[in-house]
Amino acid sequence: MIDLHTHCLMSDGVLVPAELVRRAEVKGYRAMAITDHADSSNLDFIIPRVAKAAEELTRLTSVKVIPGIEITHVPPAGIARLVKEARALGAKVVVVHGETLVEPVIPGTNRAAIMAGADIVSHPGLISRADAALAAKKGVHLEISARKGHSLSNGHVAKMATETGAKLVINTDAHEPGDLITREFAVQVLEAAGLDDKGIKKALDNSREIVDKIFGG
């Protein structure tokens, strides 16, 4: 399992990075990104601390741990600056909290995240065909979510990605131990979103390609 969207207690998760990674290791994770919620108030606090933990845990466990961030509920006009700042601070995976159906995310957030060159738009809700096509053009990944609530639009996201060529990834958005999943369950979530075997394999491969690029193969 590769999971590029998880949270520790640097934001609203419940575990320190070491326990989060240990529990993921038991689930069979090969790689994961810790992507706590951030805006301009805490970006510079979270990323260096997660990066320090990620380096140590990658060295001491069987899991490749990636320092990341999830830019969350930031007005669209401010997203590009924070994506750039996050990368400068050492975030290797930049997620932007997309227009999920279950939170009042500002319309235009999906497009702003794509234009800013985020790695992943998480739970992008009823993403438009035009925005999905833009994501395909810019190589920005759209998320299929295993998280309750956010997963309500998985079928729509999969359909838009399939029709436009946008890349998909499967993530948990884990906040608690019970949110972590096995690779087998990830396959079921992708299947439930309407993807065929080829689409499921591609989504899993997309996550692996991100990890390989970060770790050099």
Torsion of CA 85, 87, 29, 56, to 10 degrees: -90
- Which CATH number covers residue 176? 3.20.20.140
Res 217: pLDDT: 72
SS3 (DSSP) at 33: strand
Burial class (CB in 10 A: 0-12, 13-18, 19+), 113: buried
pLDDT at 146: 98
Domain limits at 115? 2-215
DSSP string, 39-56: -TTTHHHHHHHHHHHHHH
Q: Is the pTM of this model over 0.75?
A: yes
Query: Can you say whether the dihedral through the CA atoms of 83, 85, 86, 91 is positive or negative?
Result: positive
> So what's the pLDDT on residue 183?
97
* Total domains, the chain: 1
Q: What's the pLDDT score for residue 34?
A: 98
What is the length of the chain? 217
pLDDT below 70 — which residues of the chain? none
What pLDDT, on a 0 to 100 scale, did the predictor assign at position 110? 99
Q: What is the pLDDT of residue 202?
A: 98
Whether 211 and 31 have beta carbons less than 8 Å apart is answered as: yes
What is the per-residue pLDDT across 65-107, written as a single tens digit (0 to 9) for each?
999 999 999 999 999 999 999 999 999 999 999 999 999 999 9
What the block records as the tokens of 35 is: 């992507």
DSSP notation for 152-205: GGHHHHHHHHHHHT--EEEE--B-SGGG---HHHHHHHHHHTT--HHHHHHHHH
